[in-house]
């Protein structure tokens, strides 16, 4: 069992509580659509490369009428980072010990008029302590109203802390969620931040605000679009777009690499992959 200090405990508790609230809201949307789908929770344990217990997490997965596949995972892990990979992690170049706790969410929707979405926030400890994460909207068929709603809600969360945050973190998302070999962005963006270190209290408060902003805006967008009509051409567009999404997550995504390199649960790490995708 990992021994956590007060900051680590506070972060873990928040991520777990946010998971519960998000899953409850997503299940409520399924009820509104006449579905009885619920999340299935799979606990998992991790063994550190040293052989010691290395924490673990819970994979939450739901397949329903509105959410074709949605995963909401929480994990709290720690131990030793492995070899050269460890040297690439902020603050771990000279000391491989680490701690990480966070929430990771990806939703792929049954109706191609409803945008898919990704959200992740995390707290990491090496020789430094920092928060990272963000959220980005991934519509196969973008709608200006939804994109504006998503960005405005995240901007308000950022502006409450620092007016420089939103332009900086929005640009970071645009740069990060890009598929170089396709020369296209993964979606319509959002915010991305990392290595937010220094005073724990305001950085933790900002990370909580990002989670609250996501919980405010995304269910609203889902309810706005989930009954929109669609046709076979829309589904074909969605499935081709999902192929691009899978390419990014398997080739470029840092979170996927971190999970695989630190001995995370494979099913939880790869829950981000869409249920059906096409490549022509």
Q: Report residue 4: phi and psi, to 5°.
A: -110, 145
Which conformational region is residue 253 in: left (phi greater than 0), alpha (psi within -120 to 50 degrees), or beta? beta
Q: Of the listed 118, 151, 166, 185, which one is catalytic?
A: 118
Angle between helices 6-32 and 200-225 (to 10 degrees): 10
HSE of 92, CA atoms in CB hemisphere, 13 A: 23
State the Cα–Cα distance between residues 213 and 166, nearest whole angstrom: 13
Q: Give the list of residues 6+ apart from residue 119 with CB closer than 8 angstroms, or none.
A: 103, 104, 105, 133, 134, 135, 211, 214, 218
| Closest by CA position to 71, among listed 32, 5, 29, 26 | 26
End-to-end C-alpha distance for the chain, whole angstroms: 47
| Closest by CA position to 70, among listed 109, 33, 114 | 109
Is 185 a catalytic site residue? no
Catalytic residues: 118
């Amino acid at each position: 069992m990992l021994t956590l200090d007060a900051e680590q405990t506070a972060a873990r508790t928040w991520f777990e509580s946010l998971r519960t609230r998000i899953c409850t809201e997503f299940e409520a949307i399924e009820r509104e659509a006449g579905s009885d789908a619920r999340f299935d929770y799979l606990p998992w344990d991790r063994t550190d490369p040293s052989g010691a217990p290395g924490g673990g997490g819970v994979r939450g997965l739901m397949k329903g009428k509105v959410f074709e596949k949605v995963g909401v995972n929480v994990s709290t892990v720690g131990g030793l980072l492995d070899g050269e990979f460890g040297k690439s992690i902020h603050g771990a170049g000279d000391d491989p010990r680490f701690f990480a706790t966070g929430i990771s969410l990806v939703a792929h929707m049954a109706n191609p008029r409803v945008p898919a979405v990704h959200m992740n926030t995390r707290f990491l400890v090496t020789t430094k302590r920092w928060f990272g994460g963000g959220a980005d909207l991934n519509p196969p068929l973008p709608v200006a109203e939804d994109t504006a709603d998503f960005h405005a809600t995240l901007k308000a969360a950022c502006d409450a802390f620092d007016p420089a945050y939103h332009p900086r973190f929005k640009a970071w998302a645009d740069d990060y969620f890009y598929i170089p070999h396709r020369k296209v962005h993964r979606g319509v963006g959002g915010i991305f931040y990392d290595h937010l270190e220094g005073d724990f209290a305001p950085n933790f408060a900002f990370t909580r605000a990002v989670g609250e902003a996501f919980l405010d805006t995304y269910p609203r967008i889902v309810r706005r679009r989930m009954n929109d009509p669609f046709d076979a051409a829309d589904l074909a567009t969605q499935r081709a777009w999902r192929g691009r999404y899978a390419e990014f997550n398997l080739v470029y995504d840092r979170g996927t690499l971190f999970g695989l390199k630190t001995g995370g649960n494979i099913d939880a790490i790869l829950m981000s992959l869409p249920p059906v995708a096409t490549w022509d």
